[in-house]
Amino acid sequence: MKVLGIDPGMATTGWGLVRQVSPQKYETLRYGCLLTQARVPMSERLQSIAKQLRDIVRTEQPDVAAIEELFFAKNSQTAASVGHARGVLLFVLAELGLPVFEYNPRQVKIALTGFGAADKSQMQRMVQRLLGLKEVPKPDDAADALAIALCHINTRQEQK
């Protein structure tokens, strides 16, 4: 099963494609970020996010997508912006017929580290370790997307 993990954002949306090779072995297929420019109108940025995601899904042909749920306690403007991007991402995934699973940050942290309050560096090191990478994936948004993909794989195993 190829899982496309997505960490939504307006300026930077992280994505990562992971495949489970055996019960405790994973393979990183590709990862990166969908980028938009700040000075471009929001409608054009959303179109760009949609186009970039369609290209990735059509090229990589994942079996499912896992996306992070929104969680913002402080900045409502950022939450609204990310919400717009997330809506476009969910729309495109549905349009392309991909099953979509959603996870909140705490679920991702528990699935990878066993600790729901793990910090960013703990999460990144765990992603690096689980995927057998020489370095922590960069940028952070891509590492987060890989973590979401791993969360889905681990969560689906627990529910079997």
Cα gap 73→153, rounded to integer Å? 28
Q: Is 144 a catalytic residue?
A: no
| pLDDT (tens digit per residue) in 118-130 | 999 999 999 999 9
Q: Tell me what the mean pLDDT of segment 18-34 comes to.
A: 94
Q: Which of 63, 141, 144, 158 is catalytic?
A: 141
Q: What pLDDT band is residue 24 in, cutting at 50, 70 and 90?
A: confident
Share of the chain above pLDDT 70, in %: 93
| pLDDT (tens digit per residue) in 63-100 | 999 999 976 556 666 778 899 999 999 999 999 999 99
Q: Which residues pair with 27 in a beta bridge?
A: 19
Mean pLDDT of the chain: 93
Q: Please name each of the domains of the chain with its CATH number.
A: 2-158 (3.30.420.10)
Q: Which of 7, 60, 119, 135 is catalytic?
A: 7
Q: Tell me what the mean pLDDT of segment 39-67 comes to.
A: 97
Residue of 149, 136, 159, 131 lying closest to 66 (CA atoms): 149
Q: Is 68 a catalytic residue?
A: yes
Q: Is 63 a catalytic residue?
A: no
- pTM of the entire structure? 0.94
Q: Which of 68, 102, 140, 158 is catalytic?
A: 68
Using CA of residue 135, residue 138, residue 144, residue 150, what is the dihedral sign?
Answer: negative
